[in-house]
Amino acid sequence: MASARLEELLNRAIAWEMQVAIQYMWQHVRATGIESLEMADRLRTIAVQEMTHAEEIAERLDYLGGVPTTQPAPIDVGGTIQEMIQNDIKAEEEAIAVYKEIVKLAVQEEDYVTERLFKQVLQDVEEHQDQFLRMAGR
């Protein structure tokens, strides 16, 4: 069984993963202009990865006896390519902080499967953040 705090954090992670999956997919659809050509394809790929993360986290929470959320966190697509990228950088930064907290808590609770899962998800999220930072010219 997951502790109440771990269940809360896992549900937060699921909500976030669903949010960005939807956000990135809509950005993929809505991106226009010459600068969006490469970005649109990358957003679609990342969106699919994020939905896979949501599924993996939900399966883990279900196994631990928790009830996975079905509600995404608030979605903020943005209007311009620059707004989209800034929204995405912010979303990835928020996830990184929460996922590091989940790893620490999982270690404390001797839940090594959740620890391993979130180390992998954290690696993916950091790669996504790096891609968005590069798109922003940072």
Q: In this predicted model, what pLDDT tens digit does every residue of 16-70 receive, in sequence order?
A: 999 999 999 999 888 877 667 778 889 999 999 999 999 999 999 999 999 999 9
Q: Name the domain count of the chain.
A: 1
The SS3 of residue 1 is coil
Give the pLDDT score at 128. 95
Amino acid code (one letter) for 92: E
Domain, as residue range, for 23: 4-135
pLDDT in tens, 68-97: 999 999 999 998 888 999 999 999 999 999
pLDDT at 125 over 80: yes
- Tokens standing for residue 106: 């999982």
Q: Please, what is the end-to-end C-alpha distance for the chain in angstroms?
A: 42
- Spatial separation of the C-alpha atoms in residues 126 and 107, rounded to whole Å: 20
